[in-house]
Amino acid sequence: MQARSLVVGLLLVAAGLSAIGGGAYGLATELTRGPTREETKRAGENELALRWRHWTAGQLFPDRFTTYGTKANFAHRIGIAPESSCEQALDDSATKAVSAHGCLKVLRATYADPTSTILSTLAIVVMKDTTAAKAAIAEGTWQSSGVRPAGIPGTLSSRFGPGQEQEHTAVSRANYLVLGTGGYADGRPRLSRADRKGFPGFTTNAVDALATVLSKQMPACEVKEIVTC
């Protein structure tokens, strides 16, 4: 009986060790495997939604970027405005459109065209989620309202302010709206609707380009939520 008990005990120990070994192998495999496609997708979405917190101001608003076509067409940054509330950074009509859907913050920077005669204040409007951003873009009158001009003291944009807007435009990307307001660097007031019809379109191109920068895909290994690759 004692011999039989000893054999049974040894078998149980062996079974336990086998189970532990199998569990350890499974754990090691789980910890060292690469991310699944779904995990990569989810992590990428989370990273994009939080870029406004994790990226530096220079990453969100590059010093210079191509606006369309060739390298001769570019926007160069004049300055970055302080982080603002939605009410501070947007005009009344735009504020109404975004506030109804959960506007969190507005980040702004002012750019000039290659000739430094046209200025555009570009804004990243942080919404609570992608659904809110889409709802706001559908509700607003973005060709006639949007971000307030942000003149940067001590620069060629220092005279760029309310009442000088010649062009408005907006797009949505993920949980963001990217807005733009354009005008002249010489401080001239808003022109009549007919005279504004031929405005260069620099702001529209700059907004599209900035939206591309903001929403670019990151390699999976660079996404913070993915630990192993």
Q: pLDDT of 6-24, one tens digit each? A: 444 544 444 554 545 555 5
- Check residue 17 and give its pLDDT: 46
In 28-187, which ranges are E strands?
64-66, 74-80, 103-112, 118-127, 167-173, 176-184
Statement: residue 72 has pLDDT above 70: yes
- This model's pTM is above 0.85: no
| Structure tokens given for 130 | 């992608």
pLDDT at 7: 45
Hey, where are the domains in the chain?
2-30, 39-214
Sequence-distant (≥ 6) Cβ neighbours of residue 17 within 8 angstroms: none
User: For residue 92, what are its two tokens?
Assistant: 């009344």
Interhelix angle 130-139/92-99, rounded to 10 degrees, is 140
Express each pLDDT in 190-222 by its tens digit. 999 888 876 888 999 999 999 999 999 877 666
- Tokens representing 119 are 């200025």
Q: Number of C-alpha atoms within 13 angstroms, CB side, residue 157?
A: 26
Element (H, E) at 116: none
